[in-house]
């Protein structure tokens, strides 16, 4: 039985991969592909068993699908809609997105063998959400900072969506990431990725993972300290950031989510 989150695969065959943007030109690390499905809680239903239900699906399907490299579920903390929940899945390549859906269906049939009970389970799962949803696909950029350890506690996921200029100008973001973001101990993980399929080709998404909201707040001061250490000469520092900022239009949006550690892969 197909769930809403499997609908994405039906349209993938008509998509064409976009070319790599200048942010990643200096690197050869193989990218991964990220699908994000945004769904919305049905606030008219009792969500008491939501986590229990999603954990059962995670244990029987997502965690057993070898093509799903990683998975995260994040919920509203400081965003424009308190009902939104995002399901994020990571794949090694484009083809695996489609193949993973086929494996999901086989795992569903295997682990929910009784047709009546299977229907009841997915009807219950679907009842937690409205019919509205949206899908995006991103490609990772090679200057990510991987988490040193897998946290068993809920963490803060700060998402910054910057608008890229796409005019062929600007460089240096890789150097900034290595010298500042990677060296900031408050940033537990950092996942930059670029638009492949969705509403705006200019999207450059960065996901910063923190242990607490307080760490997010004070991380800016640490970033400034690290930037001054990496580029101690003021004139050269100003020139570096002037050139790097040409990559972007200057417009960006900020969003804060909490992850659900029980649904992490």
Quick one: how far is CA 86 from the chain centroid?
A: 8
User: Mean pLDDT for each 10-residue chunk of the chain (265 residues)?
Assistant: 41 32 50 96 93 98 98 96 97 95 97 97 97 94 90 95 94 96 98 89 95 97 97 97 96 96 96
Q: Quick one: pLDDT at residue 206?
A: 97
Domains, the chain, with CATH or none: 4-139 (3.30.70.100), 142-259 (3.30.70.100)
Q: Quick one: pLDDT at residue 198?
A: 79
Other C-beta atoms within 10 Å of 9: how many? 19
Other C-beta atoms within 10 Å of 84: how many? 19
Q: State both tokens at 134.
A: 């949206």
Q: Quick one: pLDDT at residue 30?
A: 83
Q: Quick one: pLDDT at residue 148?
A: 87
d(CA 21, CA 29): 14
Predicted TM-score (pTM) of the model is 0.87
- Return all residues near 36 (Cβ < 8 A) that are at least 6 apart: 86, 87, 88, 135, 136, 137, 138
* CA–CA distances in Å: residue 188 to residues 42, 52, 181: 32, 27, 10
Q: Quick one: pLDDT at residue 29?
A: 64
């Amino acid at each position: 039985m197909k769930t809403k989150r499997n609908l994405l695969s039906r349209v993938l065959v008509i998509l064409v991969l976009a070319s790599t943007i200048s942010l990643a030109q200096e690197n050869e690390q193989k990218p991964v592909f990220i699908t994000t499905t945004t769904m919305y809680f049905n606030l008219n239903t009792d969500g008491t068993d939501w986590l229990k239900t999603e954990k059962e699906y995670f244990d029987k399907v997502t965690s057993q699908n070898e093509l799903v490299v990683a998975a995260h579920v994040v919920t509203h903390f400081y965003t424009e809609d308190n009902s939104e929940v995002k399901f994020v899945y990571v794949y090694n390549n484009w083809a695996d997105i489609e193949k993973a859906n086929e494996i999901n269906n086989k795992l569903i049939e295997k682990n929910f063998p009784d047709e009546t009970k299977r229907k009841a389970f997915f009807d219950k799962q679907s009842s937690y959400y409205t019919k509205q949803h949206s899908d995006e696909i991103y490609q990772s950029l090679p200057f990510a900072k991987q988490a040193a350890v897998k946290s068993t506690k809920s963490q803060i996921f700060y998402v910054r969506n910057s608008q890229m200029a796409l005019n062929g100008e600007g460089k240096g973001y890789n150097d900034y990431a290595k010298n500042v973001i990677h060296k900031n101990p408050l940033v537990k993980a950092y996942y930059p990725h670029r638009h492949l399929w969705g509403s705006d080709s200019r999207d450059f998404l960065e996901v910063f993972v923190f242990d607490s909201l307080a760490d997010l707040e004070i991380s800016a001061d640490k970033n400034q300290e690290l930037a001054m250490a990496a580029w101690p000469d003021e004139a050269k520092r100003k020139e570096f950031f002037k050139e790097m900022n040409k990559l972007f239009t200057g417009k960006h949006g900020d969003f804060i989510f909490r992850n659900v550690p029980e649904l992490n892969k």
